[in-house]
A and B are shown apart, each in its own frame.
Chain A
């Protein structure tokens, strides 16, 4: 529909008097894997929630695939939140039915196949599943869709390094290659190798938006190293004097 998949103009979002995003201008095209990188409280989740329609901007404009956020954009966005959104009475197959009903691009057979490969029994009640298994089900729901934009909010936070690789592999082997994947995280070293672009978000503003190759060429360092440099927190005391 549009050459740009994400287009933000002077996007501002505040919760009461507290600003979360302050004048974000952003353009992202299709077929990219983009890292939305920033420390806690930098506005990553707010930006993702605005893109998937869970929040309304305070001011500024926002469009996904050329349309203002609404039912159409929700039909082309596949969103992985940073929490569980299941109703206890459901089974994974109930959710697959729901997704098949609402999203034309949901591949039911692929979802079942992904469950098999991830060791999830789709006919078990979600209530009886462990936290890790529920996360897998949620990942299956997101990645079994042929979406234009995948919004993954902290998909690898809170899991061990082996599980991180496993999740990333699942994402990379299952996403629609014509679509764009926006991954928010602060665990950059784990995802750096798969990123095409990186966006640094700090205190609600975009500090940097470049391709990963450009960052390496220009800065002569990895995205992770640059991130540490940009977001280095000033210590509250003199570490050397205190013997640290």
Chain B
């Protein structure tokens, strides 16, 4: 059932973001030919507007991604669409998990587009670059390097995990704020914002107290003795409250749902 939910969440996401991601990539490509001169690599002063439009699209993309995550939860579950979603033969945690996965992937997708766009825009002749025989040497060297130091791949995976953990924590905090706001009959949005800020303060305070305990400090010292342990610890520090937030969200949706 989770896969079926994901199918519809991703379909909704794709309807919205295929246009935005497409627009960002096309604008990057347009800028590639209008903003720079291939030969001199000099910026054309009359193309500033296109650059401005491109940056605006990238900024808008992230703003829309945040609104998307908020709306998919607040309208999709706590609004009228909830009448459909909560009468499907699934558990509330499956609905939440589906939205969480889709929201995280959306943000990662936006990050990828924002990362790739400058490369598309750069005044580099990619065709020439790709034909260089140097590439085989580069790949060989990289492969040898990775084989010699396989820890690099682990480090890279852990880095991705840290990023994902951060996104999950952020989305879980947003979900909890909206779910708590939903418990009130008035000023739900205002309460949700207040809860979101309150959660940040709460986590900071709890961790401040937890880390001041000597036993925890010595544990932390052992865990963060190298970069591998440090990144895993950072992920755990973010995932523990995220899971707690999600558990509370599921409980509220299971026991305190009121779509009126």
Binding site for B on A (CB under 8 A): 15, 52-56, 70-72, 74-75, 77, 79, 81, 83-87, 89, 94, 98, 101-103
Contact = CB atoms under 8 A, between A and B. Distances in A.
Given A98-B8, A102-B88, A89 B83 contact: no
A54 B87 contact: yes
The B interface is mostly helix, strand or loop, or mixed, namely loop
A85 B84 CA distance: 6
B144 to A, nearest CB: 48
B16 interface: yes
A102 B89 contact: yes
A2 to B, nearest CB: 18
B81 A71 contact: no
Interface stretch (B133-141, B165-173, B229-237, B250-258): B250-258
B220 interface: no
B41 interface: no
Contacts of B12: 87, 89
B257 A74 contact: no
Contacts of B83: 54, 79, 81, 83, 85
B81 A54 contact: no
A74 B88 contact: yes
B148 interface: no
Contacts of A81: 83
19 contacts: A52-B87, A53-B87, A54-B82, A54-B83, A54-B87, A55-B258, A56-B255, A56-B257, A70-B91, A71-B90, A72-B89, A74-B89, A81-B83, A83-B80, A83-B83, A87-B75, A89-B15, A102-B88, A102-B89
Nearest to A103: B89
B169 to A, nearest CB: 27
A86 B16 CA distance: 16
B181 interface: no
A100 to B, nearest CB: 10
Among B16, B83, B91, B256: residue with most chain A CB under 10 A: B83
B86 to A, nearest CB: 5
Contact of B76 (A52, A53, A72, A87): A87
A55 B83 CA distance: 11
Q: Which 8 A-B pairs have the closest CB atoms?
A: A75-B89, A85-B83, A85-B84, A74-B89, A71-B89, A81-B83, A101-B4, A89-B15
